Amino acid sequence: MLFKSLSTLATAAAFLAGVATADDVPAIEVVGNKFFYSNNGSQFYIKGVAYQADTANDTSGSTINDPLADYDSCSRDIPYLKKLDTNVIRVYAINTSLDHSKCLKALNDADIYIIADLSAPDTSINRDDPKWTVDLFNSYKTVVDAFANYTNVLGFFAGNEVTNNYTNTDASAFVKAAIRDVRQYISDKEYRKIPVGYSSNDDEETRVKMADYFACGDDDVKADFYGINMYEWCGKSDYKTSGYADRTAEFKNLSIPVFFSEYGCNEVRPRLFTEVQALYGSNMTDVWSGGIVYMYFEETNKYGLVSIDGSDVKTLDDFNNYSSEINSISPSSANTKSYSATTSDVSCPATGKYWSAATSLPPTPNGGLCSCMDAASGCVVSDDVDSDDYQALFDYVCGEVDCSGITPNGTSGEYGAYSFCTPKEQLAFVLNLYYQQNGASKSDCDFSGSASLQTATTQASCSSALKEIGSMGTNSASGSVDLGSGTESSTSSSGSGSSGSGKSSSGSSSSSSSSSSASSSSKKSAANNVKANLAQVIFTSVISLSIAAGVGFALA
């Protein structure tokens, strides 16, 4: 008993310290283009099942049916997942205000890992209007925070099928920025080095270029892994006819792990899952790290392995067929002790008709900078304007002034310095620009009552960044000033005319701790943006200087 309580104590202590305990499965790590168990260096193949009910219903504004927040359900299903030798489940949307500890622990005890999507229906990058914003980054951070302590979290997807054909490849620049920033966040928080990747669709024209795009570049911008949702093998196909042979040839140069982030064509039912022998056989295992069958739950789209009726689980033909296939594989196994990566880094895809995402990525969202700008604006949107009416204001004002400062462009690689701010903050920026350019009289800040004057203030910690960015918002701040951690409004937005006159705090030596929290990598990318935008800045400045009498902001 003494022995037991000692070990319980040790476990409790380790738990409190956020350290892996003996009961925790070993973390999975990436070396070259493969996954490995961190404890013994054995290769890890994903034998996965997509596990989330009602994803088809997940439209914006709907409630997330969180598969890891309901212990009754996950504990009901784990024995069935084990019958399929499942070692990974993929979950698509998490509600971070719910508790996931019981399901994560139960999955850990069953040696099942999780790959979680960071986005959710209301919080994702929109391919038709892509942005990488402070709000979105914050919501991705909360998913990372909720899962980071669990060693059975294999990784995160920073997006699923965002770019889906050659008409919207620019959206991939924003997803790649999300990967860069989430990886940096994991490092800044001193979490375990949890891999962050992307899950793509399988579009003929973009699939190779997209994989290369996510895998290319410096270590601090590359994805840790790449998934492709693969539905090419239907019914009784084979390695060549299905397209798998061609895909394997196309992906063999990737220097990061690649796997099927969904698979299982259901054009012929019941599904036979004969592709399992190919995927885990020697034709493919040098290139691919396994796959995730779509999906556990039977729904109207007829992709289920089981149907659920309350606490009853009924296995379907697909379950039995997949079970016999997955339980009969024995893929070859590499080991980190003898493995050395054979693939060198791919180069970024050339741009052309079918690929137009810039390699210059959007800046790291920085809420502190937005607050600085907001407070420094003399004209802002009135508080009583409904956010539904913001677009009409943008449409009007951006017809009058140059809105580059709030506009991101993933094709040209030019991103306004305030393109990650909230719509309200962005309105302050453009309304103020209009106000300044038209002579800064009260009537230039009205817009039928939608805009109002405020006393512009610039805190000491803001002034050099605002100066660098310039009145048009088209340059970017170097990382040399501490603008806070990037969480919402970390600098007190002394917004509405707080007594202390225009240039208020400039003198006060409060110069908030200069320990630059801006990471070296974001510094580097900020510096790159400065270069990328310089030509545009010069150009814009020439035009705008003649219009804007002086500097639009209250610069200290």
409 binds ligand NAG (CB under 6 A): yes
Candidates 90-98, 257-265, 425-433, 545-553 — which segment interacts with ligand NAG by CB under 6 A? 90-98
Dist CA 181 CA 496 (whole Å): 32
According to CB under 6 A, which one of 13, 18, 241, 400 is a site residue for ligand NAG? Answer: 18
**Closer residue to ligand NAG, CB minimum distance, 121 or 502:** 121
299 is catalytic: no
Distance CA 457, CA 494 (A): 7
CA distances (Å), origin 278, targets 58, 282, 297: 33, 8, 25
Q: Which is nearer to ligand NAG, 194 or 372 (CB)?
A: 194
Helix axes 423-437, 390-400, angle to 10 degrees: 30
Q: Which amino acid is at 315?
A: T
DSSP 8-state symbol, 533:
H
Among 63, 187, 480, 508, binds ligand NAG (CB under 6 A): 63
- Nearer to ligand NAG among residue 75 and residue 412 (C-beta): 412
Distance CA 547, CA 550 (A): 9
Q: Which is nearer to ligand NAG, 54 or 488 (CB)?
A: 54
Q: Are 263 and 231 in contact (CB under 8 A)?
A: yes
Our answer to whether residue 190 is catalytic in this structure is: no
Give me the least distance between CB of 320 and ligand NAG, in Å please. Answer: 6
Nearest to 18 by CA among 194, 191, 195: 191
| Stretch of 180-188, 313-321, 440-448, 507-515 contacting ligand NAG, by CB under 6 A | 313-321
Q: Estimate the share of the chain in helix, then strand, then coil, as percent rounded to the nearest 5.
A: 35, 15, 50
Does 189 participate in binding ligand NAG (rule CB under 6 A)? no
| Residue 134 three-state SS | helix
DSSP assignments along 445-511, one per residue: S-TTTTEEE------HHHHHHHHHH-TTS-S---TTS---SSSTT-S---TTT-SS-TTGGGSSTT-
The answer to the question of residue 95 lying near ligand NAG (CB under 6 A) is: yes
Residue 32 binding ligand NAG, by CB under 6 A: no
> Do 216 and 256 contact (CB within 8 A), yes or no?
no
Question: Segment 202-241, which members bind ligand NAG (CB under 6 A)?
Answer: 238-240
> In this structure, how many other beta carbons lie within 10 angstroms of the beta carbon of residue 120?
20
295: preceding bond cis by omega (within 30 degrees): yes
In angstroms, give the least distance from the CB of 126 to ligand NAG: 11
Q: How far is the CB of 215 from ligand NAG (least distance, A)?
A: 11
Q: Quick one: 169 or 450, whose CB is closer to ligand NAG?
A: 169
Task: Please tell me what DSSP assigns to residue 287.
Answer: T
Whole-number minimum distance, CB 411 to ligand NAG, in Å? 4
The DSSP call for residue 355 is B
Please give the helix or strand (H or E) that residue 136 lies within, else none. helix 134-147
What tokens were used for 69?
Answer: 């927040």
> Cβ(453)–Cβ(488) under 8 Å?
no
Q: Which of positions 260-289 make contact with ligand NAG (CB under 6 A)?
A: 270, 272, 277-278, 281, 283
Which of 161, 205, 299, 468 is catalytic? The answer is 161
Residues between 315 and 334 with contacts to ligand NAG, criterion CB under 6 A: 317, 320-321, 324
End-to-end distance of the chain based on CA atoms, in angstroms? 68
Task: Number of residues interacting with ligand NAG: please give it, by CB under 6 A.
Answer: 41
CB of 367 to ligand NAG, least distance (A): 22
Of 63 and 387, which has the nearer Cβ to ligand NAG? 63
Cα 459 to chain centroid, rounded: 31
Instruction: List the one residue from 39, 327, 391, 480 that touches ligand NAG (CB under 6 A).
Output: 39
Q: Pick between residue 149 and residue 307 the one whose CB is nearest to ligand NAG.
A: 149
x/- binding map, residues 146-165, to ligand NAG, per CB under 6 A? x--x--------------xx
**Token pair listed for 150:** 């669990």
Please identify the residue of the shown chain whose CB is closest to the bound ligand NAG: 18
Please identify which residue in 73, 253, 450, 540 interacts with ligand NAG, judged by CB under 6 A: 253
Among 11, 14, 21, 26, binds ligand NAG (CB under 6 A): 26
Catalytic residue, from 29, 262, 298, 325: name it: 262
In angstroms, the CA 440 to CA 499 distance is 21
Closest distance of CB 280 from ligand NAG, Å: 9
CB of 382 to ligand NAG, least distance (A): 28
Instruction: Give least dist CB 75 to ligand NAG, A.
Output: 20
Neighbours of 448 (CB within 10 A): 6
Residue tagged 């019981």 (tokens): 102
359 binds ligand NAG (CB under 6 A): no
Interface residue list for ligand NAG (CB under 6 A): 16-18, 26, 37, 39-40, 42, 54, 57, 63-65, 95, 97-98, 146, 149, 164-165, 167, 238-240, 245, 250, 253, 270, 272, 277-278, 281, 283, 300, 317, 320-321, 324, 409, 411-412
Point out the residues that are catalytic. 161, 262
